[in-house]
Structure 1
Amino acid sequence: MMICIEPESEVPIYTQLTNQIIQGIVRREILPGDSLPSVRSFAADLGVNMHTVNKSYHELEKKGVIRIVPKSGAVIATHDKFDEAIYQRIMEDIKPQIAEALVFGIDEEKIQMMVKTIIEDFKNK
């Protein structure tokens, strides 16, 4: 999996890392049960502070994307079934982006097309 950090971005580096790991899972570049690199080695590889990687890993753990196993590191979690709580959390996370799109005059059809395009992009890697 290729991680591309944009230091000049308004998006914090730990958020960029978190998002790219999630996208790597969706694209099946990393699979449930796979281990992520240690915080120290990942930070060195990316040229970022260890605390940045640590913050990303804890964010992923909080979301249920990874499990942090003592002495084994961060492992991609398995999600075999629908989880209503996760569905509700993601629904709340998406609401501000949908509201912003509506404020800028993007209609419902275009919003649905955006979502469909993003899903297709993930399917096509």
Structure 2
Amino acid sequence: MVIEIDFNSDEAIYVQLMNQIIMGIATSRLQEGDPLPSVRQLADTVGINMHTVNKAYSLLRQEGFVTIDRRRGAIIAVDVDKIKALEEMKENLLVALAKGCCRNVSRSEVHDLIDEIYDEYEIDN
């Protein structure tokens, strides 16, 4: 797994790390049961503080993307609670769609964009 951090980004490093792991899961580069590097190993590899990696892993655990075991470390464990996931997506989409409406983005353009993104993930649902 290759993690690339943009140190010039306004986005917090732990958020970038979380998002890249989530994208890895969505694109099947990371599978259920795959181990993530240890906090120390990832921090050294990427060149960031161990506390930053620990924060990202903890938040990924809270969101149901990983489990953390003292012996095995962080393991990909996708939460299957679909209702919770849909509610979270709705909250995130409300603002994104409002911004799009303010910029005259049409419903069909939004649908096309969603189809394009889903095609990247090769979701069979």
Scaled by the length of structure 1, the TM-score of the pair is 0.90
Q: Which residue in 1 is equivalent to 2:36?
A: 36
Listed as ranges, the gaps of 5+ residues in structure 1 are none
SS at structure 2 position matched to 1:67 = strand
**Equivalent position of 1:88 in the other structure:** 87
User: May I ask how many residue pairs the two structures share in their alignment?
Assistant: 123
Distance in 1, matches of 2:93 and 2:62, equals: 17
Paired letter, 2:40: R
Equivalent position of 1:75 in the other structure: 75
Aligned equivalents of 1:97, 1:10: Cα separation in 2? 18
> Percent identity of the aligned residues?
34
> What CA distance in whole angstroms lies between the structure 1 residues aligned with 2:92 and 2:57?
19
Shift of 1:48: 0.7
User: Any idea what SS the aligned residue of 2:68 has?
Assistant: strand
Distance in 2 between residues matched to 1:18 and 1:45, nearest whole Å: 16
1:111 maps to 110
Tell me how far 1:78 sits from its aligned partner: 4.0
**CA RMSD, Structure 1 to Structure 2 (Å):** 1.7
TM-score, normalisation: structure 2: 0.90
What runs of 5+ residues in structure 2 fail to find an aligned partner? none
Stretches of 4+ moved more than 2 A in 1?
A: none
